[in-house]
Amino acid sequence: MDRGTLRLALTVGALVLSLLAGFALGRVNAGGDPAPGPGAAPTSGVGAHTHPPGTGPHEHPTGAAAGPAGAETGGLSVSAGGYTLVPAATTFTAGRGRDFRFQVRGPDRRAVTGYAVVHEKPMHMIVVRRDLSGYQHLHPTMAPDGTWSVPLTLPSPGVWRAYADFSAVDATGGQHPSTLGVDLVVAGSYQPRPLPAPAREATVGGFTVTYEGTPQVGTSQPMLFRVFTGGNPVTTLEPYLGAYGHLVVVREGDLGYVHVHPEPEPAGGAVKFWLAAPSPGSYRMYFDFQVSGAVRTAEFTLTMP
Ligand SMILES: [Cu+2]
């Protein structure tokens, strides 16, 4: 048999095998595919409804699935929606700062280099220990190859959660808001701190911060934050990252993450957010605000029955 004949025989053999494999796959699909038919559509339960054929997923004005801002948590996974957080190293020494480096890989598995600027920054990074202490809000910088870095000091032993909060821009200009999370580890004797009791008042750096409003599970409610010093309302709150405050809410137990922004202008001296609790449970709320050029964070525990 000469080389040409051999090649032809191999090609024909491969083709036959492909056809047989395709036939087998077709059989499997035909027999085992639980394709949703009219009988499979949900007919009961909160939010159950059918979509006309061909309309695909869509946003709902209300409801728990895709509804009000803050109704869903992020940051529970290193990979979601086709985007994956890839840290260079996740081990730190207590109290010793170094650069934390990472990339976000896109659906094509390459490092993402296109990001939308959201609240003045293309990347927001929140770091908190898993007992919800030690909150930090950082802004990494990106090298041209898509590698982000930020100086980071983890002051105490334990497991810390780092959240990358960003909106990737794809080749067609589409934006993909994402929050991905990864654990960082500091060896040593870990002394977990109990979650402080729920309170509507917190002090930080000589300021007293209060909030009014009670979030409901699945329904946005107004939350009004006020800042006082020496018993007087502070009237000189400054915009920080394009807003008069930022509110990060982290759930105890799994560290599910919610980040909300306020209405553009203070209402009667209060910074007003709309917040829906993702579920019953306890949360730590971190309210970032700026006075005289300095950013401070007031922290509150919130328990949802
Ligand atoms: Cu930020």
What amino acid occupies position 101? R
Q: Are 156 and 134 in contact (CB under 8 A)?
A: yes
The pLDDT of residue 53 is 37
Q: Is 124 exposed, middle or buried (0-12, 13-18, 19+ CB in 10 A)?
A: buried
210 and 149 belong to one structural domain: no
- Which of 122, 126, 129, 127 lies closest to 148, judged by CA? 122
What is the CA(13)–ligand 1 centre distance, in A? 59
The pLDDT of residue 3 is 54
Residue ending a domain, choose from 186, 213, 242: 186
pLDDT band at 218 (very low <50, low <70, confident <90, very high): confident
Residues in the chain: 305
Phi, psi of 19 (to 5 degrees): -65, -45
Is the pLDDT confidence value at 26 over 60? no
* Per-residue model confidence as pLDDT tens digits over 193-202: 999 999 999 9
284 and 221 belong to one structural domain: yes
233 and 266 belong to one structural domain: yes
What is the CA(126)–ligand 1 centre distance, in A? 8
pLDDT band at 7 (very low <50, low <70, confident <90, very high): low
What is the CA(302)–ligand 1 centre distance, in A? 22
In the chain, the number of structural domains is 2
30-34, 281-285, 301-305: range with lowest mean pLDDT: 30-34
SS3 at position 118: strand
Task: Kindly state whether residue 7 falls inside one of the protein's structural domains.
Answer: no
Task: Kindly state whether residue 134 falls inside one of the protein's structural domains.
Answer: yes
Strand 175-186 versus strand 91-92 pairing type? parallel
Is the pLDDT confidence value at 265 over 90? no
What is the CA(125)–ligand 1 centre distance, in A? 6
What is the CA(4)–ligand 1 centre distance, in A? 64
Q: What is d(CA 83, CA 131) in angstroms, rounded to the nearest whole number?
A: 27
Residue ending a domain, choose from 127, 161, 186: 186
163 and 214 belong to one structural domain: no
Task: Kindly state whether residue 141 falls inside one of the protein's structural domains.
Answer: yes
Residues 250-275 have a mean pLDDT of 92
176 and 212 belong to one structural domain: no
**Domain CATH number, residue 242:** 2.60.40.2480
209 and 293 belong to one structural domain: yes
The pLDDT of residue 225 is 96
Higher per-residue pLDDT: 47 or 174:
174
What is the CA(244)–ligand 1 centre distance, in A? 13
Ligand 1 (ion): residues with CB under 5 Å are: 124
Task: Kindly state whether residue 33 falls inside one of the protein's structural domains.
Answer: no
Q: What is d(CA 245, CA 258) in angstroms, rounded to the nearest whole number?
A: 14
Domain carrying residue 87: 79-186
What is the CA(122)–ligand 1 centre distance, in A? 9
286 and 205 belong to one structural domain: yes
DSSP 127-179: EEETTS-S-EEE--EE-TTS-EEEEE---SSEEEEEEEEEEEE-TTS-EEEEE
157 and 99 belong to one structural domain: yes
What is the CA(179)–ligand 1 centre distance, in A? 12
173 and 214 belong to one structural domain: no
Q: Are 187 and 157 in contact (CB under 8 A)?
A: yes
The pLDDT of residue 235 is 86
What is the CA(259)–ligand 1 centre distance, in A? 10
Task: Kindly state whether residue 103 falls inside one of the protein's structural domains.
Answer: yes
128 and 169 belong to one structural domain: yes
181 and 217 belong to one structural domain: no
CA angle 165, 58, 72 (to 5 degrees): 35
Average per-residue pLDDT in the chain? Answer: 82
What is the CA(16)–ligand 1 centre distance, in A? 58
Task: Kindly state whether residue 50 falls inside one of the protein's structural domains.
Answer: no
Task: Kindly state whether residue 153 falls inside one of the protein's structural domains.
Answer: yes
Task: Kindly state whether residue 281 falls inside one of the protein's structural domains.
Answer: yes
pLDDT band at 56 (very low <50, low <70, confident <90, very high): very low
**Domain CATH number, residue 90:** 2.60.40.1930
Q: What is d(CA 226, CA 288) in angstroms, rounded to the nearest whole number?
A: 12
Residue ending a domain, choose from 157, 186, 215: 186
205 and 180 belong to one structural domain: no
The pLDDT of residue 17 is 41
The pLDDT of residue 36 is 36
- Which of 284, 300, 275, 283 lies closest to 216, judged by CA? 275
What is the CA(255)–ligand 1 centre distance, in A? 18
